[in-house]
Amino acid sequence: MSEYIFNLPDLGEGLVEAEIAEWMVKVGDFVQEEDPIGAMLTDKAAVELSAPVSGRVLSLAGEVGDTIAVGAPMIIFETEADQENGNTQTTPPAPVVEETVAVEIAAPKEEKLSVQAKTGNILTSPSVRRQAREAGIDLGQVRGSGTRGRILRSDLESHRADGPSASGRPLAAKALSNEVTKTKVIGLRRKIAERMSEANREIPHFAYVEEIDITALESLRQHLNSQKLPSEDKLTLLPFIGLALVRVLKQFPQCNALYDRERNVISQYQAVHLGIAAQTPDGLKVPVVKHSESHSLDELANEIRRVSTAARENTAKREELMGSTITITSLGKHGGIASTPVINLPEVAIIGVNKAVERPVVVNGQIVIRTMMNLSSSFDHRFVDGFDAAMMIQALKSLLEQPACIFITE
């Protein structure tokens, strides 16, 4: 017998370390070569790793949430001596990168269990989904012990051993409970916290709020939707705002830019790679519509819908979650009157869309009912002057209040 040391491989994109997202094995387990052994979290994706050899697990490098440096020991296996030809360490093969977003992660055990609903977004890793599919198991009947009921590999194995009736039983109701669930802040939630803190610490935010009369825009939207077939997806306000923003940024390229702090370089873009802040069961993600300037209204609407759905369903590719040059964030009907959006590093501007409401306003000396909506925007005051920020939002307001102008191209 001999030991095989599996070092954390280079996961690409210049990474020097990665976070342990999930262990799929434990000390004492025997694994076959290419069996899934764990997942490591990078800034953009969960990278699922496979065993490079067959053997018994002797030790693991840390717990879920810990970070490991690239090249450092991750797992030590006990193997047959002839399998390694006497070597105790070797360079592992390249890891398999699942095309999933960073939220495909596990969490440490919580102090209570929950049962996944049949409907809704089931949280689990790609390998667990694959094993369940091969075994013909409905993941909606499996009780998950991870964060927010995420199904771990051990949960699936317990379900297979006990049968669906055992794990499908509802939990007993409690009249009173002093139970407290403690969950280590790891994975995407930790990344969100770090990025938000960094953005607030590094960027002097300049906030600008303006009200927009979208009565004409809403009339146009409803008219276009009335021309669509019942089976077709209806237009929301978001693609109109995105298309108008694309037009405006031609005049204000300093707002469509990225700041490289390491090189101290600001890069202005002609192309508009539009980030769409999307709330998911695992936290905020920003899928990207690349080259939004090349899309028509319907094309932009379809792309916004596609990338947002992929982000929520954990099917977005890594390249669809990076590279935005400016971001739109909206909470829809929950948008409130105004907000203070935090800039999405390394961008220099973000446009926040608040809810649209009908209210009385004065038009030509008369009180009339109009559909009004506020835009709450933030700019990096180091690179966007307050005057330019105000002028950009006023130009955007002009297009949204006279929506026919959105479709006039030079």
d(CA 194, CA 41): 14
Catalytic residue set: 381, 385
In order along the chain (410 residues), what is the average pLDDT of each group of 10 residues? 89 78 89 88 75 92 87 91 49 44 38 40 71 81 72 80 55 67 76 85 94 97 94 94 97 96 94 93 88 96 95 88 94 86 95 95 95 96 96 97 90
385, 242: one domain: yes
Sheet of 67-69: strand order equals 46-50, 36-41, 17-23, 67-69
State phi, psi for 229 to the nearest 5 degrees: -70, 155
Residues 301 and 393 reside in one and the same domain: yes
pTM: 0.65
Residue span of the structural domain in which 383 resides: 203-407
If asked whether residues 177 and 221 sit together in one domain, one would say no
Query: Do residue 215 and residue 319 come from a single domain?
Result: yes
> Is 63 a member of any domain?
no
What is the pLDDT, as a whole number, of residue 404?
A: 95
Beta pairing, strands 283-285 & 288-289: unpaired
| CATH code assigned at 136 | 4.10.320.10
Q: What CATH number is associated with residue 270?
A: 3.30.559.10
Asked if residue 132 is part of any domain, the answer here is yes
Give the residue among 350, 352, 339, 340 at the shortest CA–CA distance from 384. Answer: 350
Structure confidence at residue 211 (pLDDT): 96
